[in-house]
Each structure stands twice: as structure tokens, then as C-alpha cells.
Structure 1
Amino acid sequence: MGINSQWSYWLPIYCWTANTTIPGYPQTLNNLSYTDWKLGVTKDFGGGLSLSASYISTNANREWFTAGAGTNAPTNWAGRGSAVVALTKTF
């Protein structure tokens, strides 16, 4: 059974919001299960404009989540951590 946890906390310093998401996924094909997670901050500038920065990663087993395994193509672990920065405007 999976869990789903989302959390946000307003930081009074410069009016940033810290946030995290930890969705758990139940057992899948051949008993493969994993949890991915995100830690980030968001700044709302008003008028529908916001800036966010997040780090996203997983505890997925490297042996089972590698793209290109068993082929002549270079292999790439699909679960490596990544940073994401976004500037968004809501109309």
C-alpha cells in the first residue's frame, strides 16, 4: 500500500514557501516498488508570477530502472536525481 504525503510551510524570510512531496507507489510488476520524492521552494511575486526550484529523486533499484540495458545503446539510470527551476505565469 502506498503513502501520499505533501507538505508546505511558509517561510517569513523573503516570503518563500518550502514544499515537499513524497508519493509512495504500491507493489508493481514483479514486486518492483519504489518511492520518489521532491524538495523545493517557491516564491510568489504576485500578479500570477512565481519562481520555483526543486530537487527530485527516488530510491528505485538501479538494476531494474536502467534505460538501454541489454542493448547496444548506452545505458542510463532513469532514477537519478535532478534539479528543476521554473518561472511560471498564471493568466
Structure 2
Amino acid sequence: MKIIRKNKKDKERREIYKQAEKMKNMYKMLRRNELLDQETRNYFNMKVTSSEKNSSISRIKNRCVETGRSRGIISAYRISRLRFREYMKMGLISGVKKISY
């Protein structure tokens, strides 16, 4: 049950970031625009800094989509190294096999 909550929270953060990204980038661009007066630039600076904390990309944590594990994630597959190893042994991941010396 705890695993589902972590994945749900991560999914919510990704959605919030996706929605806020365009506006946040526009505000950042406008606050750097030297053609605007200082008061307007300060307003856009305030908009960027006062945005929701979950709208930041640094709040997104890569997690395994099956187990919710946050460490040892194979980013191409979005699963943990443990699940990757299991699937590799079962032959479910094509083009990957265990190396033996």
C-alpha cells in the first residue's frame, strides 16, 4: 500500500511540473529581458519564486514503476535494477543477457 502512494505522489508531481513548465519558462525569460522596466522584471521574478514547490523538476524522483523503489533505477526501462535482473533472467527483455566469464 505504501508503494502505491509513492508512485501516486510521483505521478502527481510529474503532472504539476508538466502543467507549470511553460508558464515558468516564460516568466524566467521575461524577468531577464532588459528592455522591460525594473518593476515589471521584479514582478515576473516574484512569480517565478512564488510558484508551487512541486512544480520544480528537482522535486521529481525517479522511481521504479512496479515497486516504487527509488534507488538503482535503470532509466531506459524505468524499473529498479532488481526487477531488471529478474526480467533479464526470464528473458523478458530482448537483447540483454547475463555476462559470464
More strand per residue: 1 or 2? 1
- Tell me the TM-score normalised to structure 2 length: 0.20
Q: Which has the higher helix share?
A: 2
Larger Rg: 1 or 2?
A: 2
TM-score (norm 1): 0.21
